[in-house]
């Protein structure tokens, strides 16, 4: 680069023990003019206390309607190298497992054709390649495609599904989250790459109710691993926890939300009333060597989560209490097809599935999709008597 930029405000953020994003931008800026201009623009934002990116931007690659976020600075004269500074979303492997060789492949392409800056990863899960020019988009896609990568989602499409580490490294996984994520991503490539819906739709898979990818809060369809039979208690291991000083009465039984655990201090035995257990994972989290999940495993399907805009934030709610989750996931996919058809038909522009169900009612949703109403869908029944009856439920 020609001369060293003055960035007094950002320099402050190179101090301190937490790894610094400023150091990252500077390091990229040493050999990349786009990254160096980004540093200058960001310093300007720190001075002005406002962003310096223009509204919107519509760019992409041939054959796809999503995957690239266009961005243009409002100060192109001062920072010409980022007059165009688009983001490329690249679909991540399930569970963000990588080999070093494939990461180097991505780095090589991005060093040649982009800013050299990335996000590892975007909140939805994608590898984010941060900042390039329009004329580089197709070459980037061609290059990463050669290396076995593809773009992720953006716009009113199926966004890139993501999942927890699952059976790859967790004893709590109740189904193969990694496989299901990969399977759904491949099955629905068309829905990911060519936006055709009222708005975005996200899948997330968590192997148990600890929900390590926050599926219940961040996905329109949240698939949460669970089991249907009793937890399994190993009494010898219970004794070991007691002898190691764990206060089983206080830290396990007392915190059980359904009080279905009983601990006998004298015999050091822990018993469960399995029918009352809601499978919240607390006891298993605290004494995992002594308590294992049941054997009959599957997942709870929940729907509707979204963030604030427009009608407030929603968390997903139960639509199917228990479904077996085994490849090729036919029962699940058939249900999703019915749900998407209904949403595509009835959803207003920019209306998430959760808001559509809220607007038209769960009754409409369940009748349209053939999903039976069950008490597990609600915390408690309605308190008002304003009930809609269907014509065929009424005597002529």
At closest approach, how far in Å is the CB of 385 from another protein? Answer: 18
Residue 42 or residue 339: which is nearer to another protein going by CB?
A: 42
C-alpha 301/C-alpha 293 separation (Å) is 18
Helix (H) or strand (E) holding 223: strand 221-227
Strand partners, 88: 68, 129
Residue 71 or 133 with smaller CB distance to another protein: 71
Instruction: Report the residue count for the chain.
Output: 396
Residue 135 Cβ vs another protein, minimum distance, rounded to whole Å:
16
By beta-carbon proximity to another protein, the closer residue of 63 and 370 is 63
Q: How far is the CB of 200 from another protein (least distance, A)?
A: 11
Q: How far is the CB of 171 from another protein (least distance, A)?
A: 4
H/E stretch holding 68? strand 68-69
132-147: b (≥16 Cβ within 10 Å) or e? bbeebbeebbebbeee
Q: Which is nearer to another protein, 45 or 268 (CB)?
A: 45
Cβ distance to another protein smaller for residue 216 or 369: 216
Nearest to 160 by CA among 188, 130, 129, 137: 188
CA 364-366-371 angle, 5° bins: 165
C-alpha 195/C-alpha 373 separation (Å) is: 31
The distance of closest approach from Cβ of residue 2 to another protein in the complex, given in angstroms and rounded to an integer, is 20
The distance of closest approach from Cβ of residue 370 to another protein in the complex, given in angstroms and rounded to an integer, is 27
332's tokens: 């699940």
Residue at token pair 């029944």: 381
Cα 290 from Cα 112, distance rounded (Å): 53
Stretch (H or E) spanning 283: helix 282-286
Nearest to another protein of 27, 367 (CB atom): 27
Shortest distance in whole angstroms from residue 367 CB to another protein: 25
Residue with smaller CB distance to another protein, 117 or 336: 117
Closest CA to 291 of 240, 224, 225: 240
């Amino acid at each position: 680069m020609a001369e060293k930029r003055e960035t007094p405000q950002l320099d402050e953020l190179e101090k301190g023990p937490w790894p610094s994003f400023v150091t990252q931008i500077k390091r990229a800026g040493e050999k990349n003019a786009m990254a160096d201009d980004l540093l200058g623009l960001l310093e300007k934002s720190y001075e002005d206390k406002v962003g310096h990116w223009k509204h919107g931007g519509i760019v992409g690659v041939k054959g796809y309607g999503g995957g690239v976020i266009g961005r243009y600075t409002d100060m192109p004269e001062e920072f010409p190298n980022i007059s165009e500074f688009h983001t490329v979303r690249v679909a991540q492997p399930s569970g963000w497992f990588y080999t070093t060789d494939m990461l180097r492949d991505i780095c090589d392409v991005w060093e040649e054709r982009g800013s050299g800056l990335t996000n590892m990863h975007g909140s939805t899960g994608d590898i984010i390649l941060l900042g390039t020019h329009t004329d580089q988009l197709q070459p980037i896609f061609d290059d990463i495609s050669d290396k076995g990568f593809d773009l992720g989602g953006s716009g009113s499409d199926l966004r890139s599904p993501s999942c927890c580490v699952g059976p790859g490294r967790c004893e709590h996984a109740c189904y193969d989250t990694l496989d299901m994520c990969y399977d759904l991503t491949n099955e629905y490539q068309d829905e990911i790459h060519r936006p055709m819906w009222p708005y975005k739709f996200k899948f997330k898979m968590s192997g148990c109710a600890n929900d390590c990818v926050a599926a219940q809060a961040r996905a329109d369809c949240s698939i949460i691993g669970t089991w249907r039979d009793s937890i399994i208690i190993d009494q010898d291991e219970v004794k070991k926890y007691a002898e190691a000083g764990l206060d089983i009465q206080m830290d396990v039984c007392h915190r059980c939300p359904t009080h279905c655990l009983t601990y006998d201090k004298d015999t050091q035995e822990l018993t469960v009333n399995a029918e009352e257990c809601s499978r919240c994972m607390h006891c298993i989290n605290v004494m995992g060597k002594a308590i294992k999940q049941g054997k009959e495993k599957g997942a709870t399907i929940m729907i509707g989560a979204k963030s604030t805009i427009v009608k407030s934030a929603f968390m997903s709610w139960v639509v199917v209490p228990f479904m077996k989750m085994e490849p090729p996931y036919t029962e699940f996919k058939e249900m999703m097809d019915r749900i998407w058809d209904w949403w595509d038909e009835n959803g207003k522009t920019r209306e998430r599935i959760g808001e559509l169900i809220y607007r038209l009612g769960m009754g409409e949703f369940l009748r349209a999709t053939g999903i039976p109403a069950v008490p597990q869908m609600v915390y408690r029944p309605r308190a008002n008597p304003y009930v809609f009856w269907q014509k065929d439920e009424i005597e002529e």
